[in-house]
Amino acid sequence: MDEATIRELRELVPNSAGLKPCDCGDPECKEHAVPSLRRRLGDDRRFGWLPLTAPFSGVVIRKHLTLGERIDGEESVFEIADTSAVWVTFGVFQKDLPNVGPGQKATVEPTGGGESHAGRVGYVSPVLDPDSRTARGRLVLANPEGRLRPGLFVNVRVELPTVAAAVVVPRSAVQILDEKEVVFIEKGDGFEAVPVVLGSGDRHTVEVTRGLKAGQRYVKRGAFELKAKIATSGMGAHAGHGH
């Protein structure tokens, strides 16, 4: 279009004298036909009022159309996003796959801080990513206020079924010493680091399936400091003594 035509169109739209977008989705519809701008511009111009109807409600996030550009029916002129509900995807490690599935409760926390959101796992992929060795999980969250934005990094915590365990310790009590997971127990007038095998756990506690007996006394607080003393003194894992 030339500048004169664009100027005339701009003048017509605000004062359209009853010109309204067509309610009918069929461009050949006559019942709700919109008066043609050709009557205003003349037969030589042959322009008409052509409404673009979005397939759903949303927000325009990209505009590909430029002023005066000619388009056909195959081109994308706008991109619209409906963010009233968002997909949240997360990775499930191979060892956790037997315990994670659709229907389980999950909590979504933005990594930069902010309000947490509760939902349920809707899907776990049957295929693992060959590089990360994780399966893609997904849940859908209502987002009426738009606080969750597509592309936002989040942490997803899936609530696992309750597991009965004979021996449970705080995660802070488990330390890595000589490339082994250990717990410090009382021995004589000091402490000894004993290797343990861990089972199920959550953010705060973990099950000990081997290495620690039920009722056995162990270091609940200060295990990291005790490990640091052993490391700086050069003593082995079985020579850690202190109070």
For the chain, what percent of residues have pLDDT higher than 90? 36
Q: What is the pLDDT of residue 165?
A: 87
Please enumerate, as own/partner, the contacts of 145-148 that have beta carbons within 8 Å and a separation of 24 or more.
146/83, 147/114, 147/115, 148/83, 148/86, 148/88, 148/108, 148/110, 148/117
Per-residue pLDDT reduced to its tens digit, 84-133: 999 999 999 998 898 899 999 999 999 888 889 999 999 999 999 999 99
More confident residue, 139 or 52: 139
List of residues 6+ apart from 205 with CB closer than 8 A: 168, 169, 170, 171
Where in the chain are the domains?
85-158, 168-233
What is the helix, strand, coil percentage profile of the chain, to 5? 15, 35, 50
95 or 15, which is more confident? 95
- Residue 73 has what pLDDT? 73
CA distance 80 to 83: 10
CATH classification code of 168-233: 2.40.420.20
Label residue 202 by pLDDT band (50, 70, 90). Answer: confident
CATH of 85-158, one of 3.40.710.10, 3.30.830.10, 3.40.50.10880, 2.40.30.170: 2.40.30.170
Report how far residue 12's alpha carbon sits from residue 18's, in angstroms, rounded to the nearest whole number.
11
**Which tokens belong to 195?**
């290797």
CA dist., res. 125 & res. 123, Å (int)? 6
Instruction: Kindly tell me if the per-residue pLDDT of 142 is higher than 50.
Output: yes
Give the mean model confidence (pLDDT) for residues 199-218: 89
What does pTM read for this prediction?
0.54
E strand or H helix that includes residue 185: strand 180-187
| Mean pLDDT, all residues of the chain | 81
Q: Within a 13 Å sphere around the CA of 79, how many CA atoms are in the beta-carbon half?
A: 5
